[in-house]
Amino acid sequence: MNFIVIGCGRFGAELAYRLFMDKHQVVVVDMNPKAFNRLHPDFRGRTVEGNSLSADTLVRAATDKADGVAVVTNSDTMNAVIGHTVRIHYPNVKQLIVRNYDPTLRGMLEAFGLQLVSSTSWGAERVQELLIDPSFRAVFSAGNGEVEVYEMYISESWDGTDISSLLNGCDNIICSALTRAGRAVIPTPDTKLKKGDVLTISATLSGAKSLREKLKDDQEA
């Protein structure tokens, strides 16, 4: 597939290299030629120097042939304008993703109706989760962390308890899988838990917090 990464900061350089290593055709765009020095020495994609707001730059980057464009400069305002420009003038682009750096400007990007990834908010939530309870870990994040998939290990105190009892009183949370002895199944509310089970749940941050508090209270009881 053909991808364009607009912005060759640390984030953009890492993304471009990952796409290249995944056997895709990659074009990296930046107005500062020295920015391309951040690219991995093994990167063999194409670089285009120029202002991404310029129609000429987008033409030279072959945006009309791109399957996806990632706009990841360090300026949220620039990302919003560039993303909007690509969406309007290049409807052929199937995936358009913009980076949000400053959480306070996230609303501005959302107002453009752009698909965004807030690296600062997402990273802060990951650190928060690991500090609170490393055994209750996020394995997938939807959107910008509004809903996440977690894995939690069943302790001895919950051995023999059914799932409905475990989740009772916890809102915004559902159980999607249970893994026992390496085999995963889709459980029902009356499925009995065993010590050592790995429960996969989907929850909002508030839902995950309520379940953590319930588990903590149970351990202290």
Mean pLDDT of 121-148: 75
> 10 Å Cβ neighbour count for 32?
10
Q: What pLDDT does 125 receive?
A: 73
In this prediction, residue 209 carries a pLDDT of 84
Q: What is the pLDDT of residue 75?
A: 93
The predicted model scores a pTM of 0.66
| Beta-sheet strand order (sheet of 198-204) | 136-142, 147-153, 198-204, 173-180, 183-185
Q: Are strands 46-49 and 25-30 parallel, antiparallel or unpaired?
A: parallel
Q: Please tell me which residue, 50 or 132, carries the higher pLDDT value.
A: 50
Confidence at residue 107, expressed as pLDDT on a 0 to 100 scale: 84
**Domains parsed from the chain with CATH numbers:** 2-119 (3.40.50.720), 126-220 (3.30.70.1450)
Mean pLDDT of the chain: 89
Q: Who wins on pLDDT, 134 or 5?
A: 5
Region 178-197: mean pLDDT is 90
